[in-house]
Structure 1
Amino acid sequence: MGILELISALIKTFIIIFPGYILKKKGILTKQYTEGLSSIITYITYPCLVINAMQREFSMEVLNNCKYVVLIFMGVVLVSMLLSRILTRFIRLPLSQVGILSFMMVFGNTGFIGLPVLNGIFGSEAVFYGALCDASYDVFMFTIGISLIQSSAAGGEKRKIGEILKGILNPCFFGVMIGLILFVCRIDLPDLIGSPIESVGAMTSPMAMLIVGSHLADMKLKELFASKSVYLVCFLKLMISPLIALLLVKMFIGTGSLIASVLILQAAMPVAMCSVIFSEQYRADVNFAAKGVLLSSLLCIFTIPAFAILLQYS
């Protein structure tokens, strides 16, 4: 894909943010509606998008690529986590923000934003590999990730094993597992079932972008842009994390392939919404987490195209 086509595909994906922004400002897209849209995406459209993307002809090459995607993306998570812990020892931050900063540097919005972006740029095959990245995130997010938030929380309760497993075994994770089983077992869904799944999955991108737009409408720009620590979060997540992915990709598989592009762009996604959800649940600094999510979601409109263009020359 050429640079102009790449930019065009990104614009087509992100332009749906603006209706969400306007509808929220007009009071039409309320918090209740966005929460409902999020639930629909999580429980219905996202799993359908993944299952449909994995409805492709079986090949050992694709199966072998899955191994590289999972292992390299887990490497990105572990290196980012180690780097974040080192940085927080040298950066002066309130104790209530240290663990949250580490979480926000490591975990990105590879689902709601990542998969629609990949689908818009590269198509369903990229969604196949992108979903594996998202599933890899879940394993770390609901274990080590939560412990990072708890380390910054005042009086946060430790999670039970059952609650952790419930978090990992979410509808999105099951969508990946179902899709992989159908792929490995070479089961093609009949059109009567496959066509509705494809149609429902296609709703993920516009719905997700509407939600992002609604969150941007809630921004208090003066307060948001005044926080130096939030700029640090955005720099680490939107610039350093994908550079780590680029380094690992060059070391193990080389650039120029679809899976290399998927790994790097997924690492370049903005801060995961779960940072706000977990911070609220464990009584951590919700305001700091929300700023990181919102500002990184705004700035990724510029940084993701930058990395997408970089891939054309690497």
Structure 2
Amino acid sequence: MNLVTTVLNVTAPVFLLASIGFVWVRRGLPYDVGFVTRLAMTLGVPCLIFTALMRTEIAPAALTAVSLAALAAYGAVTLLMAGLVWAAGLELRTYLAPLIFGNTGNLGLPLALFAFGDEGLGYAVVIFAIMAIYSFTAGIWLVAGGGSVLRVLREPVVAATLLGALFLWRGWRTPDFVTNTLDLIGQLAIPLMLVTLGVAIARLQPESLGRPALFSALKLAGCTAAAVATGRLFALEPVAFAVLVLQISTPVAVTSYLIAAKYGADADAVAGLVVLSTLMSVVTLPLTLAFLI
């Protein structure tokens, strides 16, 4: 019973906040997803990442280990999902990127924080940053046929991660008034991302459910297996291992739909993956947390 209560305490706030966004849109109230997403990703998330890294008590060696494990996990996931897309005869530019990249921001960060505290958040932001760099380069290249390294360097999330890592390595701290300001801004990130996730899910209308349900389940199985294998291979300590599995196994990110729509891939197919994988996560994420906790 204690395990059930713990898992419920971790997952319920996440899905309740997302449901606020869902109900908000269903009631016909306006919500500017573009503005809110830009606010969260330009200010909220970078401040959250920077302060989390600056304050973390995690040894640099442990962060290095989880970074290498995340790179290996995404490499394994890429190979698995590429094989799946090829075997199923699906269009590579539509299906491969969504099957690789999970919702490590909207879902992964809050779940890691609620489940494993500041230590879990420290690991989660590193994995999130690796995913962001990968998706802004290889991910966009897969969908659009071209990516830019300079685009990655201009992303506030990447800059905040590098700066936070520098402060962590050097043991530096910002003045209290600066830290308090960054804290307040960073506190915007998680609620905004979760409410926006609910809004996005409410607005997506997939044309079919059968294929998205099948490939969402296969994505979950493949990503979880890859994360568990690489976590064991790199002998990660328990919290780092749990966060790696949690982050890699998150459902398809809403940004995958936005990128597909922008670059002319089959956005309706990606919408189905986003909706079905997110709905599945209502059941699968609590089960994953129960296993990890």
Q: Does the pair score TM above 0.5?
A: yes
Q: Which amino acid aligns with 1:127?
A: L
SS in 1 for 2:55: coil
Change over 3 Å in CA distance of 1:144–1:189 after alignment to 2: same
Q: In structure 1, what is the Cα distance between the partners aligned to 2:15 and 2:176?
A: 30
The Cα of 1:275 is off from its aligned counterpart by 1.8
Q: Which amino acid aligns with 1:46?
A: V
The Cα of 1:249 is off from its aligned counterpart by 1.2
**Structure 1: tracts of 5 or more residues without a match:** 151-157
1:91 aligns with 2:84: no
The Cα of 1:145 is off from its aligned counterpart by 1.9
SS in 2 for 1:287: helix
User: What corresponds to 1:310 in structure 2?
Assistant: 291
* RMSD between aligned residues: 2.1
Q: For 2:137, which of 107, 121, 143 is the aligned residue? A: 143
1:63 aligns with 2:60: yes
Q: Residues 1-314 of structure 1 correspond to what in structure 2 (within 5 A)?
A: 2-30=3-31, 33-56=32-55, 62-93=59-90, 97-150=91-144, 158-159=145-146, 163-220=148-205, 223=206, 226-253=208-235, 257-312=238-293
The Cα of 1:168 is off from its aligned counterpart by 4.9
- The answer on whether the counterparts of 1:216 and 1:298 sit within 8 Å (CA) in structure 2 is no
The Cα of 1:92 is off from its aligned counterpart by 3.7
Farther-moved stretch of structure 1 (239-248 vs 226-235): 226-235
Tell me the TM-score normalized by structure 1. 0.86
Change over 3 Å in CA distance of 1:189–1:3 after alignment to 2: farther
Q: In structure 2, what is the Cα distance between the partners aligned to 1:75 and 1:190?
A: 37
Q: In structure 2, what is the Cα distance between the partners aligned to 1:207 and 1:305?
A: 22
- The answer on whether the counterparts of 2:223 and 2:249 sit within 8 Å (CA) in structure 1 is yes
Q: In structure 2, what is the Cα distance between the partners aligned to 1:63 and 1:2?
A: 31
**Structure 2: tracts of 5 or more residues without a match:** none
Which consecutive segments of 4 or more residues in structure 1 shift more than 6 A? none
Q: In structure 1, what is the Cα distance between the partners aligned to 2:281 and 2:153?
A: 26
Q: Which amino acid aligns with 2:184?
A: S
The Cα of 1:112 is off from its aligned counterpart by 2.4
SS in 1 for 2:108: helix
Q: In structure 1, what is the Cα distance between the partners aligned to 2:44 and 2:168?
A: 19
Q: In structure 1, what is the Cα distance between the partners aligned to 2:54 and 2:7?
A: 25
The Cα of 1:2 is off from its aligned counterpart by 4.5
Change over 3 Å in CA distance of 1:17–1:57 after alignment to 2: closer
Tell me the TM-score normalized by structure 2. 0.92
- The answer on whether the counterparts of 1:116 and 1:204 sit within 8 Å (CA) in structure 2 is no
- The answer on whether the counterparts of 2:70 and 2:244 sit within 8 Å (CA) in structure 1 is yes
- The answer on whether the counterparts of 1:16 and 1:209 sit within 8 Å (CA) in structure 2 is yes
- The answer on whether the counterparts of 1:34 and 1:211 sit within 8 Å (CA) in structure 2 is yes
The Cα of 1:3 is off from its aligned counterpart by 4.6
Number of equivalences: 292
Q: Residues 193-240 of structure 1, C-alpha deviation per residue, up to 9 Å, x if partnerless?
A: 1112112212211111111111222244xx55x333212331133232
The Cα of 1:248 is off from its aligned counterpart by 1.5
Q: Residues 247-293 of structure 1, C-alpha deviation per residue, up to 9 Å, x if partnerless?
A: 22122215x61100110000111112332232223211111112212
SS in 1 for 2:54: coil
- Determine what percentage of the aligned residue pairs are the same residue: 23
Q: In structure 1, what is the Cα distance between the partners aligned to 2:109 and 2:243?
A: 10
The Cα of 1:299 is off from its aligned counterpart by 1.8
Q: In structure 1, what is the Cα distance between the partners aligned to 2:246 and 2:102?
A: 11
The Cα of 1:40 is off from its aligned counterpart by 0.7
SS in 2 for 1:122: helix
The Cα of 1:148 is off from its aligned counterpart by 2.2
The Cα of 1:17 is off from its aligned counterpart by 1.4
